[in-house]
Amino acid sequence: MTKREAQTILNKRKMYLHTPVGELELVADTNGLCRISFGKTAKASDICEEEIPVLRKAIEQLSEYFAGQRKVFELPLSLRGTDFQLRDWNALLEIPYGETRSYKDIAEAVGCPRGFRAVGMANRRNPLPIVVPCHRVIGADGSLTGYAGANKALAIKEYLLKLEGAR
């Protein structure tokens, strides 16, 4: 492990939240919420479990979301990715609660009209599922496709869309 990797781990904190879609592991760095994982992740084993304001706020807002009381998250986010991934994730943030978009719609929104497969790959690498709503992206024919969140990924995607009244 390099000195930089060790410093990055030292600056991160994690907490857990039990939800209707399973346990979520929330990780924040000094800039904001940086990762949500379904279940505990081996990568986060070196990250200190500690209640800090951004994680407390994330847990509160996610709990409100699952209770049907929150439609918009107001959290500092610490997104890191390629330029294309960041454009994709920002486009996902523009999809309103209760609505869906196709992969093609997102590809067009990020200026890459034929890049629907690239959109799928960027969505797959989304470090903040639910908050950055990749679950709102569906196939052009309305089918549920590609949700890499967990073992029961499509069931989770369907649950989230039903919670939002989108299906």
- Closest by CA position to 133, among listed 79, 87, 96, 163: 96
Amino acid at residue number 19: T
- Closest by CA position to 96, among listed 72, 60, 123: 72
Residue 34 designated active-site = no
Give the integer Cα–Cα distance in Å for 140 and 145.
10
Give the integer Cα–Cα distance in Å for 94 and 91.
5
Dihedral angle sign, alpha carbons of residues 91, 42, 44, 66: positive
User: Mind telling me the catalytic residues?
Assistant: 134
